[in-house]
Amino acid sequence: MQSNDEIYIYLLEFPLLRKVAMKAFDQEKRKFNRVPFSFHDNIIGIFNLPGGKELIDAHILNFSMEGLYFTLKKDENKNLAEGDKLLLVEIKGPKKQDFILNIELEIRRVLDYSDLDYFGYGCHFSVFPSSSKDQILRFLELWFMEGR
């Protein structure tokens, strides 16, 4: 039997199934709902790795007001582990939606499925200033206003 995470990853690879994913995961008992993105939506997070010496680009596949989930190709493995702290420097989205965040994250889950060519990282916002909350809400508002 597949876990919710496996089903979620599978569904997000197909834009037409996003509504199915939303419905299934709205039933979770979370304080905030997740907002899913597909690879085709091209929502890219720029992250500063532990130690602050390297920036990486990664696809963000969902986020909420509590955290986010991103993926890295296995051949780009940075040996990230649960408990590692990252800094989300920027989210790059469609035109006129790029913005800088500088939000600290902690990796809570690392997902590695043998049949997929990427690792998944579930992260929790460690430090979340109110100005960052406003930026996230603005980003989501613009995203949905464009009919996504």
Dump pLDDT digits (tens) for 22-63.
444 444 545 556 788 888 888 999 999 888 788 999 999 998
How far is C-alpha 41 from the geometric centre of its chain's CA atoms? 12
Rounded Cα–Cα distance for residues 55 and 48 (Å): 5
Look at residues 9, 19, 25 and name the one whose alpha carbon lies nearest to residue 59. 9
What is the C-alpha separation between 24 and 60, in angstroms, rounded?
19
**pLDDT (0 to 100) of residue 39:** 86
pTM of the predicted structure, to 2 decimals? 0.73
Would you state the structure tokens that stand for residue 97, as one six-digit string?
Answer: 């939606």
With the CA atoms of 147, 135, 53 and 85 taken in that order, what torsion angle do they form, in degrees rounded to the nearest 10?
A: -100
SS3 32: coil
pLDDT tens-digit map of 1-18? 444 454 445 444 544 444
CB-based contacts of 27, cutoff 8 Å, min separation 6: none
Average pLDDT of every residue of the chain: 76
Query: CB under 8 Å to 5, separation ≥6 — which residues?
Result: 109, 111, 120, 122
